[in-house]
Structure 1
Amino acid sequence: MSELERDLSAFVDQAALLIDLPIPADYRQGVIANFERIAAIAQLVIEFPLPDDIELAPIFEP
């Protein structure tokens, strides 16, 4: 088990306790796998370079 998987496993367990959401043993590995995918996507967003002088949009309109 990798360090990331251990961290995500602990996160899933703690988050489930925090929001009182029991995760059946049959689904636990699937939940952890989904969080691994989420972490990979989030890393791409976090690493995207933005200029220091960028301004926030005052109103978000999709």
Structure 2
Amino acid sequence: MTDTLDSYIDAVGSALGLTIDPAWKPAVRANLDVSLKLARQVDEFALPDETEPASIFSA
């Protein structure tokens, strides 16, 4: 997975025109890894069909 994340970081950095200092790559990889794990948990959480979004309240 590390090679895949490194390739993804390089590709996204290139697409956005960002230069990522090699010293920062481990921190970027760690942050991306945690974000992907949290996203997986949210995606795997089953909601009942009758679930509706929360109302919007304004003061």
Same fold (TM > 0.5)? yes
5+ residue gaps, structure 1 = none
Letter in 1 for 2:37: A
Alignment partner of 1:41 is 2:38: yes
Q: Deviations over 1:1-50 (max 9, x none)?
A: xxx22221111110000000000011011101110010111111011101
Letter of the aligned partner of 1:31 in structure 2? V
Moved over 6 A (4+): none
CA distance in 1, matches of 2:7, 2:23: 17
Rg larger for: 2
| Aligned partner letter, 2:48 | P
Following the alignment from structure 2 to structure 1, what is the Cα–Cα distance between the partners of residues 13 and 57?
A: 33
Q: Where does the alignment leave 5 or more consecutive residues of structure 2 unmatched? A: none
Report how many residues are paired.
58
Return the TM-score normalized by structure 1.
Answer: 0.74
